[in-house]
Amino acid sequence: MKIAVIQGPNLNMLGVREQQVYGPMKLEQIHAQMKDFAGQNKLEIEFFQSNLEGEIVDKIQECYGEVDGIIINAAAYTHSSIAIRDAITAVSIPTIEVHISNINRREEFRKENMIAPVCTSSIVGFGPFGYHLAMVGMLQIMSELKAARDMQEQSTQIEK
């Protein structure tokens, strides 16, 4: 199973920017923890970060047929990007949205979430630990999808 982790604008500045909101961990540290978890669970994982909306859309599209799940923190684009929303919808890959801060307890404009309705799940407000929760959630989703496929195959074989 392969997971793509897609990080949006300004997340490359974690550990520097607004530590009272996002904490002291750097993006590289978060990715290192995710990579360790992936290794322990026999998962492939790839990381991508961009400050550019179009590059994020391109990356989501590149995931089609290549990955089994997406973990995305669209950051500020969460509140404005119909393009990212449409890309998630287009690829039909299980997608978990992560936000380090609780966007529902912040400024009013952050309460508008364009991508949550097309994601499989959302994890907000757990700090960097939210990425770990997303990995666990993705394992569960993949397990459930595999069980459903296995049942479908068994059903098809019985019909024959």
Active site positions, annotated: 22, 99
DSSP type of residue 23 = -
Rounded Cα distance between 135 and 45, Å, is 10
E strands, the chain, are 2-7, 44-49, 69-73, 95-99, 121-124
Q: Which residues of 4-43 are buried (b: 16+ CB within 10 A; e: fewer)?
A: bbbbbbebbebeeeeeeebbebbbeebbebbeebbeeeeb
Q: How far is CA 76 from the centre of its chain?
A: 14
Is 105 in a helix, a strand, or coil? helix
Integer distance in angstroms from the first to the last C-alpha of the chain? 30
Strand partners, 44: 2
